[in-house]
Amino acid sequence: MKITRIETFLVPPRWLFCRVETDDGVVGWGEPVVEGRAEVVRAAVDVLAEYLVGQDPLRIQDHWQVLTKGGFYRGGPVLSSAVAGLDQALWDIAGKTYGAPVHALLGGPVRDRVRVYAWVGGDEPAELSEQIAAQVEAGFTAVKMNAAGATSPVTTLAETTAVVARVAAAREVLGADRDVAVDFHGRFSAAGARRVLTELAPLHPLFVEEPVLPEHGRLLAGLVESSPIPLATGERLYGRAEFLPVLAAGIAVAQPDLSHAGGISEVHRIASLAETYGAQLAPHCPLGPIALAASLQIAFATPNFLIQEQSRGIHYNKDADLLSYLVDPEPFRFVDGHAARPLAPGLGISVDEAAVRAADRGGHAWRNPVWRHPDGSFAEW
């Protein structure tokens, strides 16, 4: 079997899909994207496709080596995401060729269902209670929220108080039997994070995500020491080598993104690395259906898995949502806040190719907002 063609599709709301075709007629799908930089990743996929076309798609490990290392320069969000989407498509082809879901090829299922959480509140959280009540009504047992909008370099009393009030409001709706995770989005300084984490501890968040920016990862060990809240990070880390220091710092939850951190191949390895540090895996996935399908395959094959992010109804999804490009929405029909084990070969979803091709004709130009502090200076989003 040989790869004969690789195409990319820029589809709303902010995604990029790739389609890998073989001379056997087997087709694999992947989602190689960096949110806000989809066109750049598309160009990277085109360059990597020059190597892959003509190759045997089943040599996934060897292709991963060449695609990540064969260009001499390596790593970073664009190249790692391009490889990630292609890697997903190759696993999809492998599963369809061997007649097995990807998690079966990774060693078989280690759980019967996968807990998923829902987003509430958008980028600047407000009116949370109503949204949380709706997610509880829909059966979710956990939600995630941003704690704050743009935040001062040294968090003020007013900002700290507002964050704590929001999480307290969430806890009130959720009660003691459901969970809230809080995403700091790297908006806090380490000093600010320490202060807010202390105040949040009595509300028992499941975890706090990106308490500081990825480039300040060396400060995580101090935060781990100073807070009882499990700390999470990883959506802006792109491979094992970048996870090693944060795991050594003592993070409790590793959050590699299947579309950023080298795909199924690399996230499977990151999961094992996390296991050796006693950390749990919670794959980042505010993205589309192919990234989520890949995440669920990993979730079913990973012993040290915690919970799965998913993007149904997320604030980014305008013009299209998680189900817009699927022939059958069943794989993402969550029951009691859980996803069922996919039994179909490959990634376990059927992509609606006609819908994808039609959407690509319109494309998108999604960019994240650029935020400013009240004095006009740049603020982390």
Residue of 164, 166, 156, 154 lying closest to 200 (CA atoms): 164
Using only C-alpha atoms, what is the Rg of the chain?
20
Smallest separation, CB 43 to Mg ion (Å): 26
- The helix (run of H) or strand (run of E) holding residue 362 is helix 353-362
| Window of 109-117, 158-166, 182-190, 307-315 that interacts with Mg ion by CB under 5 A | 182-190
35 lines the binding site for Mg ion (CB under 5 A): no
Question: By C-beta, is 92 or 210 nearer to Mg ion?
Answer: 210
Q: Which is nearer to Mg ion, 41 or 181 (CB)?
A: 181
- Does the protein bind Mg ion through residue 183 (CB under 5 A)? yes
Q: How far apart are CA 297 and CA 285, in angstroms?
A: 13
| Residue 31 within binding range of Mg ion, rule CB under 5 A | no
Nearer to Mg ion, 35 or 209 (CB): 209
For residue 24, give the 3-state DSSP assignment.
coil
Nearer to Mg ion, 132 or 349 (CB): 132
Minimum distance of Mg ion from residue 331's CB (angstroms): 24
Q: Which stretch binds Mg ion (CB under 5 A): 44-52, 183-191, 302-310, 336-344?
A: 183-191
Q: Which of 183, 184, 197 is nearest to 142 (CA)?
A: 183
Of 12, 13, 49, 17, whose CA–CA distance to 31 is shortest?
17
Residues annotated as catalytic are 185, 284
d(CA 277, CA 225): 16
DSSP one-letter code for 341: P
Residue 179 vs 209, nearer CB to Mg ion: 209
Least distance to Mg ion, CB of residue 247, Å: 18
Angle at 45 between CA 43 and CA 46, to 5 degrees: 65
Nearer to Mg ion, 147 or 174 (CB): 147
Q: Which 197-226 residues touch Mg ion, going by CB under 5 A? A: 209
Pair 88, 31: CB distance under 8 Å: yes
Q: Tell me how far, at minimum, the Cβ of 289 lies from Mg ion, in Å.
A: 19
Here the contacts of 315-322 (C-beta below 8 Å, separation 24 or greater) are 315/119, 315/121, 315/122, 315/123, 316/13, 316/14, 316/35, 316/286, 316/366, 317/13, 318/12, 318/13, 319/12, 319/13, 319/364, 320/11, 320/12, 320/13, 320/359, 321/13, 322/288, 322/289, 322/292
CB 114 within 8 A of CB 140: no
Chain residue at closest Cβ approach to Mg ion = 183
The least distance separating Mg ion from the CB of residue 187, rounded to whole angstroms, comes to 10
What minimum distance in Å lies between the beta carbon of 235 and Mg ion? Answer: 5
**Nearest to Mg ion of 105, 208 (CB atom):** 208
**Which pair of structure tokens corresponds to residue 311?**
């993007």
Whose CA is closest to 260, among 230, 228, 233, 280? 233
Minimum distance, C-beta of residue 210 to Mg ion, in the bound complex (Å): 5
Number of residues that bind Mg ion (CB under 5 A): 2
Q: Which of residues 41-60 bind Mg ion (CB under 5 A)?
A: none
Q: Which residues pair with 115 in a beta bridge?
A: 338
Residues near Mg ion, by CB under 5 A: 183, 209
